[in-house]
Amino acid sequence: MGGMIDGTYFAEDPAPDTDAAGEFKRARADIRHWITRDGASGPTGGHGFTPEPGRYHLYVAWNCPWAHRALLARVLLGLQDAITLSYARPRRTEDGWVFDKDGEFADPELGATALHQVYSRQSPAYTGRITVPVLWDRQTQQIVSNESADIVRMLGAFRQGPDLCPDRLRPDIDRWNGLIYRTVNNGVYRAGFARTQAAYDSAVVEVFDTLDNIEAHLATNDWLCGDTLTEADLRLFPTLARFDVAYHYAFKCNLRRLIDYPNLWHHARRFHALPSVAETVRFDIYKQGYFSPSELRNPLGIVPAGPVIDWAL
Ligand SMILES: N[C@@H](CCC(=O)N[C@@H](CS)C(=O)NCC(=O)O)C(=O)O
């Protein structure tokens, strides 16, 4: 994976993404300002931004599950007109995430041909990973945040649509988020990117332990936090949407499929049927992305034809 050092992009980031035991370690996001109701500083970052429709632009890639969180928050909160989008091409190149000159993978905002240009536009000597999602402020020409968890939560400052993180449920939401991030959202990556049998074995067991627990929990609960749809459901969904088409095979998460879990499968299809959610999903692109050429996982980059899955409720 690539990164930037003093404003120059390198296809191979010198910072290792696996530790001595062969376990995948996801790099931390490092631009973490906040949009807040009154524009005051948020819990992290230097300064606050006000929630003004038409001011922000979101850089995403369809296949990235972290970017998917931000796309989901945007549609569930009804911010499609307030926040514009650029989609990177599904397969990264030597230049990292890239854009076409025109068409569905162009960048209408800055006309960038690679995402690293967006990072260096705000900070010419930027050093760090070049990741999606990126929330861009066109008014001050800077990145508000490249941390999806924060982006999801800060979009609540627009005070539009449902409250996905009500105060009374926040401890429960944070508990689910912590467990699901470590063992499921990032757990599938820890299984798929493991470089030792032991690292894979422990990651894959955790993935399915948590899915088994959620399956049991959903037998008596509509959503993760009871009868209210929350941010915790939103953050589970990107992994569920990619599970059978990508993680099951490409990341060897194959003890069970999503469709083998009646309650989870129902939860996923119910979430998918919410207004505009289906517009954030591209199973064909998930396959292209996760079956990209990779020396370690898929040297020839051949994309499998199946599985064929009917997501209708
Ligand atoms: N902490 C970030 C992680 C985002 C992330 O890892 N995105 C991946 C795509 S799925 C990426 O852009 N990776 C490029 C790289 O690490 O070089 C978030 O959740 O927003």
Do 286 and 146 lie in one domain? The reply is no
Q: Assess whether 99 and 185 both reside in one domain.
A: no
Any domain includes 186: yes
Pocket test residue of 26, 129, 186 for ligand 1, highest count of atoms within 8 A of CB: 129
The Cβ of residue 153 has, within 10 Å, a number of other Cβ atoms equal to 20
Q: Can you say whether the dihedral through the CA atoms of 57, 63, 67, 72 is positive or negative?
A: positive
Is there a single domain that holds both residue 46 and residue 147?
yes
CATH code, domain carrying 210: 1.20.1050.10
* Integer Cα distance of 229 and 208 in angstroms: 23
CA neighbor of 28 nearest in space, from 219, 186, 191: 186
**Going by CA atoms, what residue is nearest to atom 5 of ligand 1?**
131
**Catalytic annotation, residues:** 64, 189
Instruction: Indicate which residue's Cα is closest to atom 2 of ligand 1.
Output: 147
More confident residue, 103 or 2: 103
How many structural domains is the chain composed of? 2
Q: Are residues 119 and 262 in the same domain?
A: no
Tokens for 58, please give them: 């979101």
Which of 135, 158, 181 represents a domain boundary (last residue)?
158
What is the SS3 assignment for 4? strand
Residue 93 and residue 110 share a domain: yes
Q: Which of 17-21, 253-257, 286-290 has the lowest mean pLDDT?
A: 17-21
Long-range pairs for 172-176: beta carbons < 8 A, 24 or more residues apart:
172/224, 172/225, 172/232, 173/225, 173/230, 173/231, 173/232, 176/224, 176/225, 176/232, 176/235, 176/236
Question: How big is the chain, counted in residues?
Answer: 313
Indicate the range of 2-11, 175-184, 290-299 predicted with least confidence. 2-11
Question: Which is the closest atom of ligand 1 to the Cα of 148?
Answer: 20
What band does 14 get if pLDDT is binned at 50, 70 and 90? Answer: low
122 and 152 inside one domain: yes
**pLDDT tens, residue by residue, 274-292:** 999 999 999 999 999 999 9
Same domain, 7 and 154: yes
Give pLDDT tens digits for 74-126. Answer: 999 999 999 999 999 999 999 999 999 999 999 999 999 999 999 999 899 99
What amino acid occupies position 145? Answer: S
Same domain, 135 and 253: no
Is position 295 within any domain? no
**Is 118 in the same domain as 247?**
no
Assess if residue 204 is contained within a domain. Answer: yes
Residues 227 and 128 reside in one and the same domain: no
Q: How many Cβ atoms sit within 10 Å of the Cβ of residue 220?
A: 8
Residues with CB under 6 A from ligand 1: 1-2, 26, 29, 64, 66, 129-133, 146-148
Output the average pLDDT for the chain. Answer: 95
DSSP collapsed to 3 states, 7-39: CEEECCCCCCCECCCCCECCCCCCCECEECCCC
CATH number of the domain that residue 18 is part of: 3.40.30.10
Rounded distance from Cα 26 to ligand 1 centre (Å): 8
Distance of CA 18 to the CA centre of its chain: 20
Domain that holds residue 259: 167-290
Question: Looking at the domain assignment, is residue 237 inside a domain?
Answer: yes
Q: Does 241 fall in a domain?
A: yes
Residue 49 lies in a domain: yes
pTM exceeds 0.75, yes or no: yes
- Is 225 domain-assigned? yes
